[in-house]
Chain A
Amino acid sequence: MAKEFIARGADLELKKIRKEFPGFTAIEELDLHVPAGEFFALLGPSGCGKTTTLRLVAGLETPTSGQIFIGGEDETETKPHERPVNTVFQSYALFPHMNVLENVAFGLRQRKIDEPLVKAKEALNLVQLAHLADRKPQQLSGGQQQRVALARALVNRPSLLLLDEPLGALDLKLRREMQIELKAIQMEVGLTFLHVTHDQEEAMDMADTVAVMNKGRIEQMGAPEALYDRPKTVFVSKFLGQSNLLVGEVESTSANSVSIEVAGNKISVPKTRAEKHTGKIAIGFRPEKATFTNKKPAASSSTNIIGPGEIIDIRFTGVSNQYLIEVPELGNITVFAQNIGKSPVTELGEKVWISWSVEHSFGLSDLPNTGEAA
Chain B
Amino acid sequence: MAFAAFSSTKSNGTSKPKKTGRVVIALLAPGLAYLGAFFLTPLIALIMVSLQAQDPYGGIGDYIPAFEINNYFLVITEYFPHMFRSFSYALIATILALLISYPLAYFIGVKARPYPLLQKLMLTLVIAPFFISFLLRTLAWKQIFSNESWIVTTLQDTGLLEADQYVVGTPFMVIFGLTYNFIPFMTLPLYTSLERLDTRYLEAGSDLYASPSKVFRKVTLPLSMPGIISGTLLTFIPIAGDYINASGDFLGSSSTAMLGNVIEANYLQINDYPSASALSVLLMGAILILVAGYVKKSGTEDLL
Interface residue ranges, A against B (CB under 8 Å)? 1-2, 58-60, 79-81, 85-87, 89, 91, 93-97, 106-107, 110-111, 152-153, 156
Nearest Cβ in chain B — how far from A43, in angstroms?
A: 22
Contacting pair A110 B210 (CB below 8 A): yes
- Across the two chains, which residue of chain A brings its CB closest to B203? A60
Contacting pair A93 B198 (CB below 8 A): yes
Nearest Cβ in chain A — how far from B298, in angstroms?
A: 12
A91: chain B residues at CB < 8 Å are 198, 200
- Closest 8 A/B residue pairs (Cβ): A107-B208, A93-B204, A110-B209, A80-B206, A97-B222, A93-B200, A81-B206, A110-B210
C-alpha spacing A80/B208, complex, angstroms = 8
B203: chain A residues at CB < 8 Å are 58, 60, 80, 89, 93
The contact sample of 25 A-B pairs, CB cut-off 8 A, is A58-B203, A60-B203, A79-B212, A80-B203, A81-B214, A81-B215, A85-B207, A87-B207, A91-B200, A93-B200, A93-B201, A94-B204, A95-B201, A95-B205, A95-B223, A97-B222, A97-B223, A97-B225, A97-B303, A106-B218, A107-B209, A110-B214, A153-B208, A156-B208, A156-B209
A80: chain B residues at CB < 8 Å are 203, 206-207
Within 8 A of A (CB), among B177-208: 198, 200-201, 203-208
A97: chain B residues at CB < 8 Å are 222-223, 225, 303
With A93-B198, A93-B200 already in contact, the answer to whether A81 and B223 are too (CB < 8 A) is no
With A97-B222, A106-B218 already in contact, the answer to whether A152 and B200 are too (CB < 8 A) is no
Interface residue ranges, B against A (CB under 8 Å)? 198, 200-201, 203-212, 214-215, 218-219, 222-223, 225, 303
Nearest Cβ in chain A — how far from B196, in angstroms?
A: 12
A107: chain B residues at CB < 8 Å are 208-209
Q: Looking at B205, B209, B218, B223, which has the most chain A CB atoms within 10 Å of its CB?
A: B209
- Across the two chains, which residue of chain A brings its CB closest to B201? A93
Partner of A81, one of B209, B222, B225: B209
A2: chain B residues at CB < 8 Å are 209
Nearest Cβ in chain A — how far from B229, in angstroms?
A: 13
C-alpha spacing A86/B214, complex, angstroms = 17
Partner of B200, one of A85, A89, A106, A111: A89
Nearest Cβ in chain B — how far from A129, in angstroms?
A: 18
C-alpha spacing A96/B198, complex, angstroms = 11
C-alpha spacing A75/B43, complex, angstroms = 65
Contacting pair A86 B207 (CB below 8 A): yes
- Across the two chains, which residue of chain B brings its CB closest to A90? B200
A59: chain B residues at CB < 8 Å are 206-207
B303: chain A residues at CB < 8 Å are 97
- Across the two chains, which residue of chain A brings its CB closest to B303? A97
Nearest Cβ in chain A — how far from B220, in angstroms?
A: 11
- Across the two chains, which residue of chain B brings its CB closest to A80? B206
B209: chain A residues at CB < 8 Å are 2, 81, 107, 110-111, 156
A152: chain B residues at CB < 8 Å are 208
Q: A58-B203, A95-B205 are in contact. List 9 more A-B contacts (CB 8 A).
A: A81-B209, A86-B208, A89-B200, A94-B204, A97-B223, A97-B225, A97-B303, A106-B218, A111-B209
Nearest Cβ in chain B — how far from A371, in angstroms?
A: 38
Nearest Cβ in chain A — how far from B130, in angstroms?
A: 32
A94: chain B residues at CB < 8 Å are 204
C-alpha spacing A89/B215, complex, angstroms = 17
Nearest Cβ in chain A — how far from B188, in angstroms?
A: 22
Nearest Cβ in chain B — how far from A93, in angstroms?
A: 4
Nearest Cβ in chain A — how far from B277, in angstroms?
A: 42
Nearest Cβ in chain A — how far from B151, in angstroms?
A: 42
Nearest Cβ in chain A — how far from B198, in angstroms?
A: 7
Nearest Cβ in chain A — how far from B285, in angstroms?
A: 31
Contacting pair B210 A87 (CB below 8 A): no
- Across the two chains, which residue of chain B brings its CB closest to A113? B209
C-alpha spacing A153/B218, complex, angstroms = 17
B222: chain A residues at CB < 8 Å are 97
- Across the two chains, which residue of chain A brings its CB closest to B215? A81
Partner of B208, one of A1, A60, A96, A106: A106
B204: chain A residues at CB < 8 Å are 87, 89, 93-95
Contacting pair B207 A95 (CB below 8 A): no
C-alpha spacing A87/B202, complex, angstroms = 13
Contacting pair A96 B223 (CB below 8 A): yes
Q: Looking at B204, B207, B211, which has the most chain A CB atoms within 10 Å of its CB?
A: B207
Nearest Cβ in chain A — how far from B243, in angstroms?
A: 38
With A93-B200, A95-B201, A95-B219 already in contact, the answer to whether A110 and B207 are too (CB < 8 A) is no
B211: chain A residues at CB < 8 Å are 1, 79, 81
C-alpha spacing A81/B204, complex, angstroms = 10
Contacting pair A81 B210 (CB below 8 A): yes
- Across the two chains, which residue of chain A brings its CB closest to B200? A93
C-alpha spacing A95/B209, complex, angstroms = 14
B206: chain A residues at CB < 8 Å are 59-60, 79-81
C-alpha spacing A91/B223, complex, angstroms = 17
- Across the two chains, which residue of chain B brings its CB closest to A106? B208
Nearest Cβ in chain B — how far from A154, in angstroms?
A: 12
Contacting pair A106 B198 (CB below 8 A): no
C-alpha spacing A206/B296, complex, angstroms = 49
B201: chain A residues at CB < 8 Å are 93, 95-96
Contacting pair B208 A110 (CB below 8 A): yes
A110: chain B residues at CB < 8 Å are 208-210, 214
Contacting pair B200 A58 (CB below 8 A): no
C-alpha spacing A85/B208, complex, angstroms = 8
C-alpha spacing A106/B203, complex, angstroms = 13
B198: chain A residues at CB < 8 Å are 91, 93
- Across the two chains, which residue of chain B brings its CB closest to A91? B200
C-alpha spacing A95/B206, complex, angstroms = 12
A89: chain B residues at CB < 8 Å are 200, 203-204
C-alpha spacing A59/B209, complex, angstroms = 11
A156: chain B residues at CB < 8 Å are 208-209
C-alpha spacing A156/B204, complex, angstroms = 13
Nearest Cβ in chain A — how far from B197, in angstroms?
A: 11
A95: chain B residues at CB < 8 Å are 201, 204-205, 219, 223
Contacting pair B207 A81 (CB below 8 A): yes
